[in-house]
């Protein structure tokens, strides 16, 4: 267990390595002891908070509960509206990721009269609202059709309302067509013969498709739409592997990097902790759920690019040329493999890809 010479990660890794080999009673005792150690500095130590989240995910996996399991969730509770506002306006991966994609979409829309934008994982429609607002500068645009694909009806309803409000005073018409469905179950054949210039946007949505074969079929369906541009934004870490220890190590490096960036944000401490707990829900899925029930199956950008090319897409690397540093220190640059990578220290946590 934790000693003066072992790091927090080493202690956590030791516990994780015992999951499939150790006596359950001894493992539970180790979990509890390390949990109590982490609890002492949980308010101002990212690694201790991250380890606590992992321990709670492990408890879920082992179908047990713990003394310090949920106390911090209530302490740092922040409304969903506040949290999403911080993610969009302060968190560099979301803030600059959407900015880059939106600017590129608008460049594609320039000089076009009719555009159909298929948004996979539409959510609350925030990204589409921003595009509508910025499209006011496109004097040639006469009609924008947005097809919002989202499995959660309430979110899609809010998206429809927000998009309608955003488009009501523009010089071009805005038509919204909702599809309540997961991306892998959409009948893309029924969407043939879309109007005008076709753009597909899939932001942080396709990693929810559980198998690579389902992803292949979905991308083949998207390919049939004959889109002029397909933007794919995905986390860059291998959480698809069924090897528990590899999945733990990959996810720990990924989320520790995100936590470090959050620590540098110019926001109140309670918002920082709330953001970390937001990602904690993903950790619970990655570590705590059985393989067949896992939802957050992030993959490496290189694997996405391989699959995209296999189904016939051409990867476009010409839409982004400038490397820059996004506050608070996230490097954004085009990687040789063909994606824009968002890197903090040694961890590239997000990738943006463009295909034709």
What residue spans define the domains of the chain?
A: 8-75+239-293, 84-236+299-355
Q: Which two tokens stand for residue 257?
A: 């990097």
Quote the pLDDT of residue 63. Answer: 81
Nearest to 147 by CA among 171, 181, 170, 172: 181
Nearest to 177 by CA among 201, 150, 138: 150
pLDDT < 70 stretches in the chain: 1-5, 64-76
Note the pLDDT tens digit of each residue in 150-203: 999 999 999 999 999 999 999 999 999 999 999 999 999 998 889 999 999 999
Quote the pLDDT of residue 192. Answer: 82
Note the pLDDT tens digit of each residue in 306-324: 999 999 999 998 878 778 9
Quote the pLDDT of residue 4. Answer: 47
Half-sphere exposure of 44 toward its Cβ, with a 13 Å CA cutoff? 0
**Strand 197-203 relative to strand 114-120, pairing:** parallel
Class of domain 84-236+299-355 (CATH, top level):
alpha beta
Q: Sheet holding 197-203: strands in order across?
A: 173-180, 143-150, 114-120, 197-203, 229-235, 347-355, 339-344, 330-335, 324-326
d(Cα 180, Cα 29) in Å, to the nearest integer? 45
Q: Which residues of 167-177 are buried (b: 16+ CB within 10 A; e: fewer)?
A: beeeebebebe
d(Cα 141, Cα 113) in Å, to the nearest integer? 4
Q: Which two tokens stand for residue 309?
A: 């090319």
Q: Which two tokens stand for residue 246?
A: 């590899």
Whose structure tokens read 């968002």?
342
Nearest to 231 by CA among 263, 259, 199: 199
Q: Which residues contact 134 (CB under 8 A, 6 or more apart)?
A: 102, 106
Quote the pLDDT of residue 157. Answer: 96
């Amino acid at each position: 267990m934790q000693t003066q010479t072992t790091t927090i990660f080493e202690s956590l890794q030791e516990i994780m390595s015992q999951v499939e080999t150790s006596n359950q009673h001894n493992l539970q005792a180790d979990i509890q002891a390390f949990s109590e150690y982490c609890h002492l500095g949980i308010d101002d130590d990212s690694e201790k908070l991250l380890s606590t989240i992992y321990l709670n995910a492990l408890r879920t996996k082992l179908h047990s509960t713990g003394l310090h399991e949920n106390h911090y969730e209530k302490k740092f509770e922040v409304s969903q509206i506040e949290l999403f506002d911080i993610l969009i306006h302060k968190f560099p991966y979301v803030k600059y990721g959407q900015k880059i994609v939106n600017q590129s979409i608008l460049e594609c829309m320039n000089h076009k009269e009719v555009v159909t934008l298929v948004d996979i994982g539409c959510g609350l429609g925030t990204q589409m609202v921003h595009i509508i607002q910025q499209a006011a500068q496109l004097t040639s645009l006469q009609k924008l059709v947005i097809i919002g694909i989202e499995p959660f009806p309430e979110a899609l309803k809010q998206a429809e309302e927000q998009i309608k409000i955003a488009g009501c005073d523009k010089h071009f018409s805005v038509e919204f067509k909702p599809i309540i469905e997961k991306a892998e179950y959409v009948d893309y054949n029924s969407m043939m013969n879309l109007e005008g210039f076709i753009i597909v946007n899939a932001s942080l949505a396709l990693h929810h498709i559980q198998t690579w074969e389902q992803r292949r079929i979905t991308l083949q369906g998207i390919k049939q739409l004959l889109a002029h541009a397909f933007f794919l934004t995905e986390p860059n870490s291998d959480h698809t592997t069924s090897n528990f220890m590899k999945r733990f190590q990959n996810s720990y490096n990924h989320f520790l990097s995100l936590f470090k960036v959050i620590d540098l944000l110019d926001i109140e401490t309670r918002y920082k902790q709330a953001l970390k707990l937001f990602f904690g829900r993903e950790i619970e899925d990655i570590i705590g759920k059985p393989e067949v029930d896992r939802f957050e199956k992030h993959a490496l950008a290189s694997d996405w690019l391989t699959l995209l090319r296999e189904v016939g897409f051409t990867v476009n690397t010409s839409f982004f040329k400038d490397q820059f540093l996004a506050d608070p220190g996230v490097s954004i640059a085009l990687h040789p493999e063909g994606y824009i990578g968002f890197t903090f220290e040694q961890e590239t946590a997000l990738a943006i890809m463009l295909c034709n």
